[in-house]
């Protein structure tokens, strides 16, 4: 077969073919790695969302407990007969509430720490 000035030499064709194949393979590997990274990020995001939802549910439960305790105090204060009884009820309430708030804060802190650790662990894969 006779070559024309516009023919591409076989060696150049082979090199170009290999280069295209290598570029295609590199792109496929890049896309696969990107898909894996996205999947990990989605899993981590889902884990964070679940952890935050759990913390929110517990915080709401604590709010309900605290509001209930306040209403209980109000009912007891209405039935108090003396200033001393009112003072004693308030002292008891504030003592219990300070302990409850401290315990609730510790509980929520531990839950947030666990949620963060779980999310970090899932992000590592």
Distances (CA, A) of 27 to 62, 92, 98: 52, 69, 60
pLDDT score of 47: 73
21-70: pLDDT as tens digits: 898 999 899 888 888 887 776 776 777 788 888 999 999 999 999 999 99
100 near 106, Cβ under 8 Å? no
pLDDT score of 4: 66
pLDDT score of 16: 86
Exposed/middle/buried for residue 21 (C-beta within 10 Å: 0-12, 13-18, 19+):
exposed
Instruction: Count CA atoms within 13 Å of residue 89 on its CB side.
Output: 18
Q: Spell out the domain ranges in the chain.
A: 15-124
33 near 82, Cβ under 8 Å? no
pLDDT score of 35: 85
Residue 82 DSSP label: S
- Whether the full predicted model's pTM is greater than 0.95, yes or no, is no
75-94: pLDDT as tens digits: 999 999 999 999 999 999 99
């Amino acid at each position: 077969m006779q070559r024309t000035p516009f023919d591409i030499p076989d060696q150049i064709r082979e090199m170009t073919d290999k280069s295209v194949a290598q570029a295609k393979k590199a792109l496929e590997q890049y896309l696969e790695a990107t898909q894996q990274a996205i999947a990990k990020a989605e899993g981590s995001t889902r884990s964070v969302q679940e952890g935050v939802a759990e913390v929110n549910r517990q915080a709401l439960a604590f709010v309900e407990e605290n509001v209930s305790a306040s209403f209980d105090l109000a009912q007891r204060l209405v039935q108090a007969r003396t200033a001393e009884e009112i003072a004693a009820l308030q002292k008891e309430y504030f003592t219990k509430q300070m302990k409850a708030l401290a315990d609730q804060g510790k509980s929520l802190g531990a839950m947030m720490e666990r949620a963060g650790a779980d999310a970090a662990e899932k992000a590592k894969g």
